[in-house]
Amino acid sequence: MRMEDKLTRLIALFGLLMNLLLAASSALVSSGDYDRDFFVMWSPSHVNTSSDGRMRSLILDRDSGAGFASNDMFLFGKMDMQIKLIPGYSAGTVVAFYLTSDQPNRDEVDFEFLGNVVGQSYILQTNIYSDGFDNREERIHLWFDPTRDFHNYSILWNINQIVFFVDSIPIRTFRNHADKGVAFPRWQPMSIKATLWNGDSWATRGGKDKVDWSKGPFAASFGNYTIDACTWRGNPRFCRSESSGNWWNGRDYSSLTRVQKRWFKWVRINHMIYDYCQDNQRFQGNLPLECSLSKY
């Protein structure tokens, strides 16, 4: 066999091996069992899990809140979590579902649900850390009561964009404008976390409404979840690939669809109550660079 043929075969075999590794690294990684896919970060006495592992609740009282985190870390993918929030008086409480790299220059993608007094609706705050920098809060009022039933909250994270979804409706995007000088989470793997804690120094009306412990203990419930993501194995090239396994990196997910753009605009027109990109006073007229760039 000629040397050129041997080289061609070796290259083909190497390519096949890489494709197999990519597929293995990008498989659906959630079992649907909280006890198998997550560990309790703190206060296990404040975490209740159903006997089949399919439901979990976090408890907040005077003694402690609680939280859990995924066993694995991921670089790109889609993460879905069904959550039912604290009913009744929930002022001062914060329920969070987020991705984080836990590094000093951390990347983080946050859903934060800010409790409220009876008669006032929950506020959903989203935030993004890129290379340790945040100050990118957006806030909306939800168009339903998130305490009456479970709703699905999702994060799509790929090399092109981050999209926050509520029941499949896109409420926020953050595009990869790294080529224009905007930091974008694209190198650091992140774990999935969920927490319930006392944030009454800031969460409700800037800290004016405090946690009323006589109304506690407070419980947030977590239901079905899906993790379809690239499990971190130490090589970012696998997760950045546009292989069939890494479907979220495909062209169809590089921007919002036409229908998604309409929903996105609907949310921002009808339900947005704070956008850091419109807060000239906070940034003294020097808004972050991404505020002048496209959102999809």
Q: Is the pLDDT of residue 242 over 90?
A: no
Q: Is the pLDDT of residue 279 over 50?
A: yes
Mean residue pLDDT across the chain: 92
Nearest to 183 by CA among 125, 135, 255: 135
The amino acid present at 179, given as its one-letter code, is D
Q: What is the DSSP string of 83-97?
A: EEPPPS--TTEEEEE
Residues recognised as catalytic? 108, 112
Number of helices (H), then strands (E), belonging to the chain: the values are 4, 15
SS3 category, 206: helix
Omega before residue 236 within 30° of 0, cis: no
Q: Using one digit for the tens of pLDDT, what is the confidence trace for 49-75?
A: 999 999 999 999 999 999 999 999 999
Q: Binning pLDDT at 50, 70 and 90, where does residue 103 land?
A: confident
SS3 category, 269: helix
Q: Using one digit for the tens of pLDDT, what is the confidence trace for 177-221?
A: 999 999 999 999 999 999 999 999 999 999 999 999 999 999 999
pLDDT computed for residue 5 by the predictor: 52
**What pTM did the predictor assign?**
0.90
